[in-house]
Amino acid sequence: MRVELVMPKMGESLTEGTIIKWLKNVGDKVERDEMILEISTDKVDTEVPSPNAGRLVQILAEVNQTVEVGKVIAIIETEESDYVPDDKPPKHPEKSEDRSQKTEDRSQKTEISEQASSGTGEIVDVVMPKMGESLTEGTIIKWLKKVGDKVERDEMILEISTDKVDTEVPSPVAGTIIEILYKENDVVEVGKVIAKISGSDNATAKPLHEVKTAPAVADKKVEEVHSEEVITEIPRSKDGRFYSPLVRTIAEQEKVSLQELESIQGSGVDGRITKKDLLSYIETRGKSEVRSLKTEDKKTGIITKPTFEPAPIPKREYSLGPDAEIIPMDRIRQLIAEHMVYSKRTSAHVTSVAEADVTGLVKLRESDKAAFFAKENFKLTFTPFFAKAVIDGVKKFPMV
């Protein structure tokens, strides 16, 4: 079965994308969700994954070509039995038995593919897509479909937000949504299953976050080990405080306990711990351990420097009147606010002023502006003179 790969829509106002690089060539095998090309838009550069496992049989758009959203840019063949590119004919003729066997296998695969596409009960997982090389998670903004709704292939079923772009996620197959695993505003790691779609018309829809009972374990030792693992694992959130997947991963690698995380003052939205906060704490923790060892060993004669803990930021309480309405910020506004605060903390906010005598420039413009307007039909401003000065300066001092 041939699957068409289209130029994805990376934002509400974006209508086209430019192909930067093809990561796969014609004839290469690809796995589902494996990156096969890089694209660039006005908002973000990202990689595009393969919607199905198979073989890349045709590339319809070249590198640096700008393609409209929704247009086919490549074709993937899901039947990999005996595909041979046009420029590589088979070296040895096949025996009749082999050909008949391959034809049989291909017909069986076709039947399976047709059953899956027509809806005979195959369940397909919808995963959180990877929208960029450095992105590890995404936030679900809105579900466009609900459990029990029928969807067509490539029909948009939800909206997600990342640190770089807000976009819609299409359905990989036609069928019925039988389960939604995450709610709106949930932050989900890339690659995790967020919904399930069945092609069966009589599929039974499951409620959101269905509670599943685990089978009883006879061995008490196994239960004890499992319970210990659950206790030591850092949760996504506790007491209203959220820990991102990246923070949890770093904490587990650096052996940072949940109690230590709770003591860290976060600089993110609502006091959320960022990657920088955690790395700073780990570095400080390592230095404090060295200080304590040096203090205990009095024979070394090393004078230790006192450590200073930043004062905790008091939480402000606001009293709202009866006419006040609290409107929660969307994901983009939260990121803008977070980055503005970060910029304030890391960048020098100063203004540099220098004076220059431009009397000659003013006289030159006054004497020539009438003749310039008569010739060019627009007014002469100071901008081209400033641009000329910048160009001359860059030519003279290229290492700015």
Residues 210 and 181: their CA atoms lie apart, in Å, by 8
- Decide if 337 is inside a domain: no
Residues 123 and 203 placed together within one structural domain of the fold? yes
Q: Is residue 82 a contact partner of residue 75, using CB atoms and an 8 Å limit?
A: no
3 state SS of 62:
coil
- Decide if 43 is inside a domain: yes
In angstroms, the first-to-last Cα distance of the chain is: 57
Residues 6+ apart with CB under 8 A from 84: 90
The predicted pLDDT at position 218 comes to 38
Residues 199 and 165: their CA atoms lie apart, in Å, by 30
The count of domains in the chain is 4
Mean pLDDT taken over the chain: 75
Residues 207 and 123 placed together within one structural domain of the fold? yes
The predicted pLDDT at position 86 comes to 46
CATH of the domain at 278: 4.10.320.10
| Model confidence, pTM | 0.32
Candidates 155, 150, 130; CA nearest to 197 is 150
The predicted pLDDT at position 110 comes to 41
The predicted pLDDT at position 121 comes to 59
Q: Is residue 292 a contact partner of residue 307, using CB atoms and an 8 Å limit?
A: no
Residues 6+ apart with CB under 8 A from 184: 140, 141, 142, 143
Residues 235 and 187 placed together within one structural domain of the fold? no
The predicted pLDDT at position 291 comes to 54
Classify strands 123-127 and 66-68 as parallel, antiparallel or unpaired: unpaired
Residues 142 and 175 placed together within one structural domain of the fold? yes
- Decide if 102 is inside a domain: no
Residues 54 and 81: their CA atoms lie apart, in Å, by 10
Residues 6+ apart with CB under 8 A from 198: 119, 121, 122, 123, 124, 175, 176, 178
The predicted pLDDT at position 313 comes to 59
The predicted pLDDT at position 106 comes to 47
Candidates 19, 85, 28; CA nearest to 53 is 28
Tokens of 80: 């990999």
Q: Is residue 180 a contact partner of residue 151, using CB atoms and an 8 Å limit?
A: no
The predicted pLDDT at position 305 comes to 47
Tokens of 311: 């004062």
- Decide if 348 is inside a domain: no
Residues 224 and 258 placed together within one structural domain of the fold? yes
Residues 196 and 257 placed together within one structural domain of the fold? no
Q: Over the range 254-280, which residues count as b (16 or more CB within 10 Å of their CB) and which as e?
A: eebebeebeebebbbbeebbbeebbee
Residues 124 and 187 placed together within one structural domain of the fold? yes
State the chain's maximal CA–CA distance in angstroms: 99
Residues 176 and 224 placed together within one structural domain of the fold? no
Virtual torsion, Cα 350, 352, 353, 354, nearest 10 deg: 170
Residues 123 and 208 placed together within one structural domain of the fold? yes
- Decide if 1 is inside a domain: yes
Residues 378 and 372: their CA atoms lie apart, in Å, by 8
- Decide if 339 is inside a domain: no
* Strand ordering across the sheet containing 54-59: 2-6, 72-77, 54-59, 29-30
- Decide if 208 is inside a domain: yes
The predicted pLDDT at position 259 comes to 81
Choose the final residue of a domain: 297, 313, 340.
297
- Decide if 58 is inside a domain: yes
Classify strands 166-170 and 156-161 as parallel, antiparallel or unpaired: antiparallel
Choose the final residue of a domain: 196, 212, 228.
212
Residues 268 and 246 placed together within one structural domain of the fold? yes
Q: Is residue 177 a contact partner of residue 195, using CB atoms and an 8 Å limit?
A: yes
Residues 31 and 368: their CA atoms lie apart, in Å, by 68
Q: Is residue 137 a contact partner of residue 246, using CB atoms and an 8 Å limit?
A: yes
121-132 pLDDT, tens per residue? Answer: 588 899 998 877
CATH of the domain at 17: 2.40.50.100
Residues 74 and 50: their CA atoms lie apart, in Å, by 10
Residues 224 and 205 placed together within one structural domain of the fold? no
- Which domain covers residue 279, as residue numbers? 220-297
Choose the final residue of a domain: 80, 99, 129.
80
Residues 116 and 113: their CA atoms lie apart, in Å, by 5
Q: 1: which strand partners?
A: none
Write out residues in the chain with pLDDT < 50, as ranges: 80-100, 102-120, 207-231, 290, 294, 297-300, 302-308
Residues 150 and 193 placed together within one structural domain of the fold? yes
